[in-house]
């Protein structure tokens, strides 16, 4: 779903569209950012619930006698992989998505990812989580502003980032078996760079999608949810990679 309308036809080029004075565009982007913000609030609440509230925590995670994370329960594993399964299934089931359907998909993914983020609460200190979140929020704002204001076409740059993301996933899978500290550090650094680039790219893609839709309210309702999902996933991944680098473990 993060690829919604990624191959849009440029009815308005990036160097001709005056984004700063378009009230409709500002309203559209504000709708996207509001949905991302609400999604992050929901995710934070669910992460605290699954990571700090023992009756729920014990359904999701295996905890040692000294309170350390020992692994996931079967339910926890299902929740961790459920967002990917839902995204893949939605690609086949939602050929002609509606605004309500896209919204339901967004909140389903956000809820599942938020619940799985309880692992962050268990592994890292509260202070490092809070400080890294603020750093991520500041970086997200700056990168999204770059994507919104730049007149340079980022399509080629975005394609390069997507190829890098595929390599990042493969490297992460390999390191699940090798457990190499050096490779893990490289993956974290590349993850920060790739998702930083995707934030700027997806922001520009959303701008141009708005112009291509030409005021179609139904289509813009769908685009708002899919755009929010793209930016939400970028934010969460950037946060997790930064936390792996900067976070203090319990």
> Is residue 8 in some structural domain?
no
> Is residue 161 in some structural domain?
yes
> Is residue 167 in some structural domain?
yes
Cα-based angle 239, 250, 136 (whole degrees, multiple of 5) = 15
> Is residue 144 in some structural domain?
yes
Cβ within 8 Å of residue 137, ≥6 positions away: none
> Is residue 2 in some structural domain?
no
**How many domains does one find in the chain?**
1
Decide: residue 195, CB within 10 A, 0-12 exposed, 13-18 middle, 19+ buried. buried
pTM of the model: 0.89
> Is residue 94 in some structural domain?
yes
Report the distance separating Cα 124 and Cα 248, nearest Å: 6
> Is residue 1 in some structural domain?
no
Decide: residue 64, CB within 10 A, 0-12 exposed, 13-18 middle, 19+ buried. exposed
Report the distance separating Cα 236 and Cα 199, nearest Å: 11
Q: What is the chain's pLDDT, residue by residue, as a tens digit (250 residues)?
A: 444 444 333 445 555 455 444 788 899 999 999 999 999 999 999 999 999 999 999 999 999 888 788 899 999 999 999 999 999 888 887 778 899 999 999 999 999 999 999 999 999 999 999 999 999 999 999 999 999 999 999 999 999 999 999 999 999 999 888 889 999 999 999 999 999 999 999 999 999 999 988 878 888 999 999 999 999 999 999 999 999 999 889 8
Report the distance separating Cα 48 and Cα 114, nearest Å: 9
Report the distance separating Cα 118 and Cα 114, nearest Å: 7
Under a CB-based contact definition with an 8 Å cutoff, are residues 44 and 114 in contact?
yes
> Is residue 4 in some structural domain?
no
Instruction: Identify the domain containing residue 148 by its residue range.
Output: 19-246
């Amino acid at each position: 779903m993060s690829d919604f309308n990624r191959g849009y036809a440029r009815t308005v080029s990036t160097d001709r569209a005056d984004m700063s004075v378009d009230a409709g565009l500002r309203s559209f982007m504000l709708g996207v950012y509001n949905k991302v913000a609400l999604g992050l609030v929901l995710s934070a609440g669910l992460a605290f619930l699954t990571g700090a509230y023992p009756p729920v925590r014990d359904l999701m995670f295996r905890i040692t006698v000294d309170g350390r994370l020992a692994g996931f329960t079967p339910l926890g594993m299902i929740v961790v992989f459920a967002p990917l399964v839902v995204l893949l299934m939605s690609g086949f089931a939602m050929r002609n998505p509606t605004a309500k359907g896209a919204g339901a998909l967004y909140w389903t993914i956000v809820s599942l990812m938020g619940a799985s983020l309880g692992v962050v609460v268990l592994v890292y200190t509260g202070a490092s989580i809070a400080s890294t979140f603020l750093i991520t929020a500041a970086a997200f704002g700056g990168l999204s502003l770059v994507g919104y204001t730049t007149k340079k076409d980022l399509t080629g740059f975005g394609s390069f980032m997507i190829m890098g993301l595929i390599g990042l996933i493969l490297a992460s899978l390999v390191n699940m078996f090798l457990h190499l500290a050096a490779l893990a550090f490289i993956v974290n650094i590349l993850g920060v760079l790739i998702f930083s680039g995707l934030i700027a790219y997806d922001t520009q893609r959303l701008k141009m999608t708005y112009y291509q839709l030409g005021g179609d309210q139904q289509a813009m309702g769908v685009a708002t949810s899919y755009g929010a999902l793209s930016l939400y996933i970028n934010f969460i991944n950037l946060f997790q990679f930064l936390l792996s680098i900067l976070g203090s473990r319990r």
